[in-house]
Amino acid sequence: MANPLADDLDHILEHTEGLWEELRGNRIFLTGGTGFFGCWLLESFLWANERLHLGAAATVLTRDPASFRAKAAHLAENRAVTLPGGDVRSFAYPDGGFSHVIHAATDSAIVPSATEITSTIVEGTEHVLAFADHANCGKFLFTSSGAVYGMQPPEMSHMCEDSGGWPAPLHPSTPYGEAKRVAEAKCQAAQAADFETKIARCFAFVGPYMNLNVHFAIGNFLRDQMRGGPIIVKGDGRAVRSYLYASDLAIWLWTILFRGPSGRAYNVGSEDAISIGELARFIGSHVDPAVDVRIDGSPSSASGPRYVPSTERARGELALEQWVGLEEAVRKTRRWFVLTQPEGT
């Protein structure tokens, strides 16, 4: 069966082809390699590896190798991939050196408690940084989050990397954002070692491999649409988000790893803001078949919370763009789920 992501993977390679040479004959170590980010990084790595004849290899840390083989056998069984099992906080160091390390572990959707969030993010980052030093790593990428900024002020249309917001002490997202802040500081401190550290502050995304059944609105709306509706908005629909498609996400992450200056943080996301209510109505009316939309929350007088990045730094310094618009991103994502997981939607 042809890879249903072939067009997306060609798109990624088109925009990263000149970056891969430094991986020729080398090894990359990836944490979080079996989640949404990790699957896209691994898909695009293997696509480039085979088409550019890089002779590179990837070691992908996972808590459950057997589950990943069941989820994505074509990735797990590729001869360039090794799947050691282990916890990001305590895994045994693989033998040999690694030229590049990407620390993408810790999915905010599945960490069960504030204590576990802090432990996994902070202790995990410490352990991976120590391993990177041990493995003679040259370049290290940490996938952080826009949550490090705290609540976006309503008068701020887009948050830039120098925004100085503070998390609300009792807000549910605060432990995650605070832990990412601490982990970023540890990455910055690691610049004293012999490897470069780069930070990607990631916002909101859409694409194949995303989990449709956790607290991410766009995934829930697509799931509802594929089940025949209605699309249910649990709040009042006024919250504002923006969504970058997964193939663009992969381009941005690889570019930051290979070309970003050491110690530099970049927002990763889309600047095209849309309210959650507008997003629900868009998916309900523009995706065939059309379905009803139900907004459960009562309208409030306050404007909805925003979570939208400024990407001026990434655009200006690394020539990164949003190539895939929201309509195409939604269409591509739905098509992949229908093709690959028709009973799991």
Mean pLDDT of 280-301: 87
What does the block give as tokens for 67?
A: 């589950």
pLDDT tens-place string over residues 157-212: 999 999 865 555 545 557 888 899 999 999 998 876 689 999 999 999 999 999 99
Average pLDDT in the 86-99 region? 96
pLDDT tens, residue by residue, 24-42: 999 999 999 889 999 999 9
Residues in the chain: 345
Cα separation, 88 vs 63, in Å, equals 8
Q: What are the φ/ψ torsions at residue 138 (nearest 5 degrees)?
A: -95, -40
Strands (E), the chain: 27-31, 57-60, 81-82, 100-103, 139-145, 196-202, 205-206, 231-233, 240-241, 244-245, 265-268, 274-275, 293-295
pLDDT at 118 over 90: no
Does position 108 have pLDDT exceeding 60, yes or no? no
Q: 103: number of CA atoms within 13 Å, CB side?
A: 32
**Amino acid identity at 166:** W
Mean per-residue pLDDT, 273-284: 96
Q: Report CA dihedral (46, 50, 53, 55) to the nearest 10 degrees.
A: 50
> Which of 261, 264, 282, 289 has its CA nearest to residue 327?
282
Q: What is the pLDDT of residues 139-164, one digit of tens each?
A: 999 999 999 998 898 889 999 999 86
* Other Cβ atoms within 10 Å of 118 Cβ, number: 17
**pLDDT score for 170:** 45
Neighbouring-strand partners of residue 111: none
CA proximity to 81, closest of 8, 28, 6, 13? 28
Please give the helix or strand (H or E) that residue 280 lies within, else none.
helix 276-286
Q: 145 has which bridge partners?
A: 202
CATH class of 6-205+243-269+310-324: alpha beta
Helix (H, G, I), strand (E, B) or coil at 197: strand
Rounded to two decimals, the pTM is: 0.95
Show me where the domains of the chain are located.
6-205+243-269+310-324
Contacts of 53 (CB under 8 A, 6+ apart): none
Rounded CA gap, 206 and 244, in Å? Answer: 6
DSSP string, 52-85: TT---EEEE-BS-HHHHHHH-HHHHT-TTEE--B
Whole-angstrom distance, CA of residue 111 vs CA of residue 8:
29
